[in-house]
């Protein structure tokens, strides 16, 4: 039976925890709004870039063009870019991404592929290190201090491009959480290298005419060689923004739950405290009365 003092101390400590979690919830909520705006603002560019690239890729004959489009012709070495947050306390956010990544890596390993991991975000690296220490090639944690900058995404994209040009992998896949709402984030796998060309039918004009033939300035290969790394950077950027929004959403939900739990706990403890106090008073009264009766 805890003493009254113990209960008082516990109530106080839960109360201060509650204050912290509710403050964190507020912070996450305001950060979420900003991150969400940023993610939405970056969408038009990424969408048009993708459309432009599919048009261009669709007009190239299959298998031709730069390697980033056509692939290396092999599927042996896979690069898995695992995007997580740098910080915890955001519910299942990081563990969901890592779980998905782990599944994917296992799948690839079972198929006899070679897997390399590029971890973006500290939490993902820490979690994957337990099982796949030797696979992790590089860890990027220096991003999103205040908000995600394009230069940060560009840096990661450059890293990926360099690795690809050096022939260090054949296929790259990115795993991140797409932001749907504050309570729902969808872990998504996206192949980024080689650029996944949509089905021919999707790019052909609906009118049934011949596929659009573009004029290129300077030449199609030149445009492709500048467009492809650019697109990679954009896709990474978009994923990072989506991830940032998802992280804040998950954090907000997690902190909201924590606050609610703390409230429940305080109620329970207060009830117990009052009962104990009442019991003690009753006990003292009985002692006094029985003492008086004995006289």
Q: Does 290 help bind another protein (rule: CB under 8 A)? A: no
CB 104 within 8 A of CB 85: no
Minimum CB distance to another protein smaller for 179 or for 273: 179
Q: How far is the CB of 218 from another protein (least distance, A)?
A: 6
Q: Does 218 help bind another protein (rule: CB under 8 A)? A: yes
Minimum CB distance to another protein smaller for 54 or for 261: 54
Which of 27, 34, 70, 150: binder of another protein (CB under 8 A)?
A: 150
The label of the residue with tokens 């739990």 reads 261
**Going by DSSP bridges, is the β-strand pair 171-181/184-193 parallel, antiparallel, or unpaired?**
antiparallel
**Among 82, 16, 24, residue whose Cα is nearest residue 251:** 24
Catalytic residues: 90
Could you say which residues in the range 151-190 bind another protein, by CB under 8 A?
A: 151, 154-155, 158
The helix-helix angle for 4-59 and 220-294 (nearest 10°) equals 170
Q: Does 42 help bind another protein (rule: CB under 8 A)? A: yes
* Strand order from edge to edge, sheet including 77-83: 136-140, 114-120, 77-83, 171-181, 184-193
Which of 13, 226, 257, 282: binder of another protein (CB under 8 A)?
A: 226
Which of 110, 145, 146, 217: binder of another protein (CB under 8 A)?
A: 217
Q: Does 227 help bind another protein (rule: CB under 8 A)? A: yes
Q: How far is CA 45 from the centre of its chain?
A: 21
Q: How far is the CB of 216 from another protein (least distance, A)?
A: 5
**Among 174, 187, 68, 172, residue whose Cα is nearest residue 120:** 174
Q: Does 45 help bind another protein (rule: CB under 8 A)? A: yes
The helix-helix angle for 220-294 and 150-165 (nearest 10°) equals 120
Q: Does 204 help bind another protein (rule: CB under 8 A)? A: no
d(CA 244, CA 278) in angstroms, rounded, equals: 50
Minimum CB distance to another protein smaller for 96 or for 158: 158
Binding site for another protein (CB under 8 A): 41-42, 44-45, 48-49, 52, 55-56, 150-151, 154-155, 158, 212-218, 220, 222-223, 226-227, 230, 234, 237
């Amino acid at each position: 039976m805890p003493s009254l003092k113990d209960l008082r101390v516990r109530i106080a400590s839960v109360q201060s925890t509650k204050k912290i979690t509710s403050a964190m919830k507020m912070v996450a909520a305001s950060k979420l709004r900003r991150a969400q705006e940023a993610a939405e603002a970056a969408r038009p560019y990424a969408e048009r870039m993708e459309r432009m690239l599919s048009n261009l890729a669709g007009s190239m004959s299959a298998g031709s063009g730069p390697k980033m489009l056509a692939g290396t012709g092999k599927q042996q070495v896979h690069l898995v870019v695992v995007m997580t947050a740098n910080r915890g306390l955001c519910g299942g956010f990081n563990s969901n991404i890592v779980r998905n990544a782990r599944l994917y890596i296992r799948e690839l390993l079972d198929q006899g592929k070679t897997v390399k991991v590029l971890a973006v975000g500290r939490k993902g690296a820490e979690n994957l290190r337990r099982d796949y220490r030797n696979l992790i090639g590089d860890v990027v944690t220096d991003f999103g201090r205040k908000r995600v900058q394009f230069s940060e995404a560009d840096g990661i994209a450059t890293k990926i491009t360099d690795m690809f040009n050096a022939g260090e992998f054949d296929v790259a896949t990115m795993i991140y959480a797409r932001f749907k709402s504050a309570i729902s984030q969808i872990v998504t796998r996206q192949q980024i290298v080689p650029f996944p060309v949509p089905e021919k039918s999707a790019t052909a004009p609906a009118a049934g005419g011949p596929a659009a033939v573009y004029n290129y300035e300077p030449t199609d290969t030149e445009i492709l060689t500048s467009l492809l790394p650019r697109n990679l950077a954009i896709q990474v950027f978009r994923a990072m923004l989506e991830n940032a929004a998802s992280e804040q959403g998950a954090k907000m939900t997690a902190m909201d739950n924590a606050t609610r739990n703390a409230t429940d706990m305080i109620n329970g403890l207060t009830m117990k405290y009052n009962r104990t106090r009442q019991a003690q008073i009753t006990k003292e009264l009985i002692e006094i009365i029985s003492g008086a009766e004995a006289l």
